[in-house]
A and B are shown apart, each in its own frame.
Chain A
Amino acid sequence: MRGHGFLLANYVPGTSLIHRMPLWLKFLLVLACGMASFLIVDWRLAAGALLVMCVLFLLSGAGAVRLFRAVRPLLPILLVIGAFQWWQLGGPVAARIVLNILLCVVAASLLTATTPLHRLLDGVVSLARPFRRFGADPERFALTIAIMLRSIPFIAGAFADVRDSARARGLERNPRALVLPVFITTVAYARHTGEALAARGLGEPED
Chain B
Amino acid sequence: MTQTHSAGTLQPAKRNRWNATDLGLIAVFAALVAASALVAAIPVGGLGVPITLQTLAVMLTGLALGPGRAFAAVGLHTLLGLAGLPIFSGGRSGLGILAGPSAGYIIAFPLAAAAVGWMASVIIRRTVKFRAVFLFAAAMVASIVLIHGLGIAGMMVNAKLDFAKAFLADLPFYPGDIIKNVLAVAVAIALHKAFPDLLVRRVRKVPQQPATPEAPKPEASAQQ
Contact = CB atoms under 8 A, between A and B. Distances in A.
Between B20, B97, B158, B190, the greatest number of chain A beta carbons within 10 A of the residue's beta carbon is seen for B20
A25 to B, nearest CB: 14
A8 B31 CA distance: 17
Interface stretch (A39-47, A54-62, A133-141): A133-141
A191 B195 CA distance: 10
A110 to B, nearest CB: 9
A179 interface: yes
Nearest to B184: A179
Interface string B134-155: 0000000000000000000000
A111 B194 CA distance: 44
Contacts of B92: 73
Contacts of B186: 176, 180
B19 A191 contact: no
Contact of A80 (B17, B48, B79): B48
Given A34-B95, A77-B101, A104-B98, 4 more contacts: A127-B5, A147-B27, A152-B31, A183-B60
Interface string A101-141: 10111111101100101001101100110010011110011
Given A6-B85, A187-B194, A141 B160 contact: no
Contact of B25 (A89, A187, A204): A187
A9 B93 CA distance: 10
Given A140-B12, A204-B20, A186 B29 contact: yes
Contact of A195 (B21, B47, B85): B21
A33 to B, nearest CB: 8
Between A3, A158, A194, A198, the greatest number of chain B beta carbons within 10 A of the residue's beta carbon is seen for A194
Chain B at the A interface: SS class:
helix
A205 B195 CA distance: 24
Question: What bracket does the count of chain B residues touching chain A fall in?
Answer: 35 or more
B85 A194 contact: no
Chain A at the B interface: SS class:
helix
A80 B45 CA distance: 12
A152 B19 contact: no
A134 B9 contact: yes
A8 to B, nearest CB: 10
Interface string B1-32: 00001001101110001111111111111111
Interface stretch (B35-43, B104-112, B210-218): B35-43
A81 B98 CA distance: 16
A136 B12 contact: yes
Contacts of A190: 21, 24-25, 27-29
Nearest to A180: B187
Contacts of B198: 187
Given A135-B13, A197-B23, A175 B38 contact: no
Nearest to B24: A194
